[in-house]
Amino acid sequence: MTHNFFGAAAASLVAAGFWVASLGVAQNSSASAPGDSGEVLYAKNCAVCHGAGARGGDRAPGLANSRGLRSQSEDQIAAVIRTGIPGRMPPFELPDSELKTLAAWVRSLNVSAFDAKPDGDPSAGEQFFFGTGQCASCHMVAGRGKANGPDLSDTGRSLTLGELQHALDDPAGAAKIRSSSACPPWAWCPQNKWALVNVHLRNGSTLRGFARNQ
């Protein structure tokens, strides 16, 4: 996952000048013709629940620009289509060729920063992250760094390139955190309430510190 993260995040950082660089079987409503595109297959099999253009409907959520789907491979998406989700989505019996085409189309709606493969030098981004950028003083990637802030190991696959650039430009804003002159957007400020968490244990004691992840 280290390569995935740096391949997506570092490139966008270099472009910006610093490192601002994842229950029965349902029957087809209509027969699919050989060679149908993924969009056509979606319209015939999925749109009734997931809505036109995969934007969501009354019965099921949208499949476009889904953070949860960005980290899923075509094979993983195909497996969900074929087997369904108990109590939520029925399985679909589609020929392997159609299943692959449909899964590829759904995957194309959820291009992560890693999938976008932006230009840049991942090794330069890694050096900045663990060096002069001091990102690792708060964040961890693949076990390297500190756990004061969120673990960023899967960031390249869970965010789009635009979202990643925005998060690196203004991490406080991306996390819906208000910044101030005393605590700029890029800083981790222990005096701010959002920077610390209290965990109350059953024995009555309280642990206070930084949340490693959310």
Across all residues in the chain, what is the average pLDDT?
76
pLDDT, tens digit (0-9, with 9 covering 90-100), for 167-212: 777 766 666 554 455 555 555 555 554 455 678 889 988 776 555 5
Selection from 44-53, 108-117, 177-186 with the highest mean pLDDT: 44-53
Burial (CB < 10 A; 0-12, 13-18, 19+), residue 92, is: buried
Burial (CB < 10 A; 0-12, 13-18, 19+), residue 27, is: exposed
> What are the structure tokens assigned to 209, written together?
């510190």
* Domains of the chain, each with CATH number or no CATH: 2-18+117-209 (no CATH), 38-111 (1.10.760.10)
**Phi, psi angle pair for 208, to nearest 5°:** -125, 130
Cα separation, 214 vs 212, whole angstroms: 7
